[in-house]
Chain A
Amino acid sequence: MSDLADLEQGLGRFLGERAGETVRVSNLVGSTAGARRTNVLFDADLPDGPRRLVATILPTMDIQINPITAEAAVRGLAERYGVPVPHLRGVTNDSSYVGGPFFVSDCVEGETIPRRVLRLVHDREIGERVARQLGAALGRLHAIPTSEAPAELVGDDVADPAEQALAGVEESIRTLVPDRPAFAFGFAWLERHLPPPPDRRTIVHTDARNGNLIVDADGLQALLDWEGAMRSGDPMQDLAWPALRMWRFRYDDREIGGFAGREPYIEGYVSAGGTFDADRFHWWKTLGTLRWGLGLAGQAEAHLDGRFRSVVMAASGRRVPELEWDLLMLVRP
């Protein structure tokens, strides 16, 4: 990343070109949110007044699932359908401004780090409200006609998303954890309970978990990180992902992100037009749990074979039993 003076100049030039007049940028602060991306908060004197904005900058060589312009476009589409997202001010693939592709959004105040989010939510006793709001946000997203999906958004219509996901994990089990019977047992359960293809495909966010949310004392303010959004998926895959135990951060009895049980979440989802399917939800939750275990095993593998030496990646291997436990609890005979 370039230093702050270069960033200030680059962001001012970008916003100025878009506004057709000089835009002064000041008070830059690096933010902690986001693992690979850099978020920079700043003030800008826009033609319609001063604004606190945030620039989300990608490393130049980063491999994106979606091009950043597609990510921005699907987020804008979601905003038009009432999904809470930070309002977009501009996006570019041009690395000449700040050293990488980036987008600029309105800054939304609130917490994003899961444990802080949960402390706030439980201090204020708004867990059920946040769960309901998250359900409603996904309900609105899933109500968008897929014909409106941005042209460059990834995720072509596959005949059967569940079957495809299952084939993917089968391959990973064979290469990463062929000797761990808990994975074999979980996989056998998934195979036996494979749901039929969904009646309806929707645009899916794919990562709407605690950690990709901005929450303040009034509740859910924004759903972030649309990088992995897909144009056509099983809506229950999207709904189930935030229910993994992994995202509860020790509030294990609150299924949805540590906020609350599933009832308000599903109420919110249904009230926004969604249709809940409990069996399909459970299947995707189980698949997600198994897949997360494979992800951890893959990190350890990347450490051991030298692709990514890191004590954190090495430690991931020893986290595999956590996911095996969660998986076994979900497939109890």
Chain B
Amino acid sequence: MQPSPDAAALLSTIAELLDDELLAAVPGPLQHKTRVAANLCRILEREWTTGEAAAAAERARLAELLDRPDLDTAALRAELCTRIRAGGPEATSHDVWEVLVAGCRDDLAIVKPGHDGWEGR
């Protein structure tokens, strides 16, 4: 077992270094990359903290939707893709859409919090 700080705390520390100290010091062309790198650290920090629970929730939703509790997440995703492509009821189902929206919401909570605020056209 690794001692403290854990991965989330270290990623947060690297993000602070990039944003608060390095950004002002790097030449112009590198500033965008520096911001992107800092943002990636914050994404990984959130993924470290909540990613496991989100993955478990996704698996549970897909297993129930497809009635295949025996499959792992990757196999469940592949199975759903196959059924949608085959043009069965999954391709137009509101239940399928709801499950995809819920999964996407969890993904966004890690990579772009707030992006799910828009539901319009």
Interface residues of A (CB under 8 A from B): 178-182, 184-185, 188, 192, 245, 252-253, 255, 282, 310-312, 314-315, 318-319, 321-322, 324-326, 328-333
Contacts and interface: CB of A to CB of B under 8 A. Distances in A.
Contacts of A180: 77, 81
B81 A179 contact: yes
Given A179-B78, A181-B80, A318 B108 contact: no
Contacts of A184: 80-81, 84-85
Contacts, number: 92
Interface SS of chain A: helix, strand, loop or mixed?
helix
Nearest to B82: A184
B119 interface: yes
Interface stretch (B3-11, B19-27, B92-100): B92-100
A185 B84 contact: yes
Interface in B63-112: 74, 77-78, 80-81, 84-85, 87, 91-94, 96-97, 100-101, 103-105, 107-108, 111-112
Contacts of B33: 310-312
Contact of B100 (A282, A310, A328): A328
Given A181-B80, A311-B36, A312-B36, A188 B104 contact: no
B39 interface: yes
Nearest to B99: A181
B40 A315 contact: yes
Contacts of B112: 319, 321-322
B43 to A, nearest CB: 6
Contacts of A253: 120
B37 interface: yes
Nearest to B118: A252
A332 B78 CA distance: 21
B66 to A, nearest CB: 11
A328 B101 contact: yes
Contacts of B32: 312
Contacts of A314: 40
A67 B121 CA distance: 36
